[in-house]
Structure 1
Amino acid sequence: MNTGAGSTAADAARTYPALRTRICELFGVRHPIVQTGMGFVSGPRLVAATANAGGLGILAGATLDLAELATAIAEIRQHTTQPFGVNLRADATDAGQRVDLLIREQVRVASFALAPRPDLIARLKEAGVLVVPSVGARRHAEKVAGWGADAVIVQGSEGGGHTGAVPTTLLVPQVVDAVDIPVIAAGGFFDGRGLVAALAYGAAGVAMGTRFLLTRDTTISPEVQRRYLEAGVDGTVVTSALDGVPQRLLRTEFIDRLERSGPLRRLARSARSAARFRRLTGTPWSRLLADGRAMRHSRELTWGQVLLAANTPMLLKAAMVDGRADLGVMATGQVTGLIDDLPSCAELIDRIIAQAQTVLDDLQGRGPDGDRR
């Protein structure tokens, strides 16, 4: 079992205190780099590989049922002794049971895509589990900080999946000035230059999704990864056609057709997707309806938008699990247009830290031998 031995390049970077940030101590990791909990992407293999490389890997728990989540946590533990996190849906009807599972398993971090209720935060914190919600607006960061969150992931508009309209370069310093907890910057990061830039804005590290998706440690099919690698910075689209809420996806013929279709056709497709999702997972209609009511309340969606949201799990699965890029959707950050390789997680994190050190050397006017130029 690989327990996460450090590399020469990464260890050398420890000479810079700036690269040992608040989240390193908080999470118990070597480097201020977080791999986000991407549905159908962030499985046990990717999470364990990230943890062993010195970052914080986050398991995508929202697309797993309770039993599958327990199995995935056990599988991660078979491959690493390092800390990791689990992403949960705060509006799930069984959110309380999932929180209980994380507490029993002594998972280090509970990550939330939506603001968790204060009572869930309190239960987790009392049990020693760190709470790290993801937000896209200053007011949301202020709210979860006031409720006791330990840190917050702040995603700018460049990020993939559901996203807001404010760029990372404006949102991160705004949130850093508004809250006292560590801020982790997300949206547009893929290398050591970005890490140093995030630290300069006052963030305590970076969170990356697309960059980790494009590694050899994911289970994504080569065909789907090829589609990501071939996309340019203009190869993404922010659309509400999928589930009624803006999200950034790879632009494909399927997405173009979806955007051209009318509301009634979208609703019909959503109803079919909901039925297919129910058959696949065995989820009772009563559970789907209860989740829909919770989603409608937490996101202030109309019932039409809730029905549209039934598209998302099955269409993401079609691409990310089944490899059908022609029939599914692929969430992505704009940064996909700047990525052209598939390193391992260890190679990626080592490279980021080594490049960050070089950037800091250059900023201080020092050469590679340490002498001031």
Structure 2
Amino acid sequence: MAGVPPEQIREQMIQVKEITDKPFGVDLLVAIPEQVDAAIDVIIDEGATSFIGGLGVPRRVIEKCHEASVKVMSMCGKVAHAVDAANAGCDVVIAQGTEGGGHTGQVAGMALIPQIVDAVDVPVIAAGAIFDGRGLTASLAFGAQGAWIGTRFIASEEAHAALVYKQQILETESDQTVISRCYSGKPMRVIRNDYVDDWSKRPEDLKPFPQQMLVSVQNATMGLLAGLDSDIDPDKACMPAGQGAGGIHEILSAKEIIARIMSEAEDNIVRMGDLIQ
């Protein structure tokens, strides 16, 4: 969740609990300090079993979560960030390659994931342009214990995303996402549009995070991230997406997506095992 006030987080968590009794987590941009503490209180109060920080997790947040038996995960785009997260007490590190959508780093997943696996003593989850069973298989081969999949699930029936956003993902080729600071002030991989192109011509006008995000809110570009499904202009809307968008061709149910990924991964693992016999 990005820019979502604590009470809206509570509302969405209540909705989740109404449809499942399974464990679930909440992902936030914790780099916005005035939102963090109130949001964490809600996450704990409403019974999440894990908290995921998109832009680092302050040690006090980790300690507060652990006191409530909530696991803490941190998205990391550099080996150094992963080491810092593990040393601070994070239970899981999510190693996101630059191919991934949303806020991202500069190192490709093929290089980053195994290096982070070697550098930390906590479980590592692979992320970045993973959209099918081949990506899951590769993640496991790199030493990760699972895969963090974003863009593929935005293009799902259940996703809390506007139809125009889902359709844009289906129409996006792998070379039509770009990394830009124009929406938040931090590097973010998004679907290229007129708004992104305009800012690319005047980088000197970009402000740091979170001031640039406030500019984006004023320009009405962040509606999709706030869950709006109407009055969305794809020529300026912030639409995070990874390079894996080029391999996504249909909107499916989350159940079907998971079933396909698992089936493909199992077939790949068997096939690779046959190679060494």
Q: What is the TM-score when the length of structure 2 is the normalising length?
A: 0.90
Amino acid at match of 1:186: A
Deviations 1:199-248 (A, max 9, x none): 01000101111110011112433333222211111111112333432221
Deviations 1:104-163 (A, max 9, x none): 222110111122221221121121100011111111111111111110111111011221
Which one of 291, 315, 326 corresponds to residue 235 of structure 2?
Answer: 326
Alignment of 1:195 with 2:136, yes or no, is yes
Show the counterpart of 2:100.
159
- Given that 1:318 and 1:324 are in contact with CA atoms closer than 8 Å, whether structure 2 keeps it comes out as no
Show the counterpart of 1:316.
222
Alignment of 1:222 with 2:131, yes or no, is no
How far the C-alpha of 1:318 sits from its partner, in A, is: 5.5
Secondary structure, aligned partner of 2:185: coil
Show the counterpart of 2:258.
349
Secondary structure, aligned partner of 1:122: helix
- Identify if the C-alpha distance between structure 1 residues 312 and 150 changes in structure 2 by more than 3 Å, giving closer, same or farther: farther
Alignment of 1:102 with 2:102, yes or no, is no
What is the alpha-carbon distance in structure 1 between the residues aligned to residue 210 and residue 79 of structure 2? 25
Which one of 101, 106, 114 corresponds to residue 173 of structure 1?
Answer: 114
Amino acid at match of 1:151: V
Show the counterpart of 2:272.
363
Q: Which has the higher relative contact order, 1 or 2, with Cα contacts under 8 A spaced 6 or more apart?
A: 1
Moved more, 111-120 or 357-366: 357-366
Q: How many residues align?
A: 271
Instruction: Mark the runs of 5 or more structure 2 residues left unpaired by the alignment.
Output: none
Q: What does 1:114-263 correspond to in 2, within 5 Å?
A: 114-261=55-202, 263=204
CA RMSD in angstroms comes to: 2.2
Alignment of 1:307 with 2:211, yes or no, is yes
Which one of 7, 20, 27 corresponds to residue 87 of structure 1?
Answer: 27
Amino acid at match of 1:81: D
Q: What is the TM-score when the length of structure 1 is the normalising length?
A: 0.68
Moved more, 311-320 or 328-337: 311-320
Deviations 1:329-360 (A, max 9, x none): 21110111111111100000011001111111
Amino acid at match of 1:315: T
* Large movers: runs of 4+ above 6 Å: none
Show the counterpart of 1:78.
18
- Identify if the C-alpha distance between structure 1 residues 121 and 363 changes in structure 2 by more than 3 Å, giving closer, same or farther: same
Q: Percent identity?
A: 32
Secondary structure, aligned partner of 1:153: strand
Give the structure with the higher percent helix: 1
Amino acid at match of 1:316: M
Instruction: Mark the runs of 5 or more structure 1 residues left unpaired by the alignment.
Output: 1-59, 268-300, 367-371
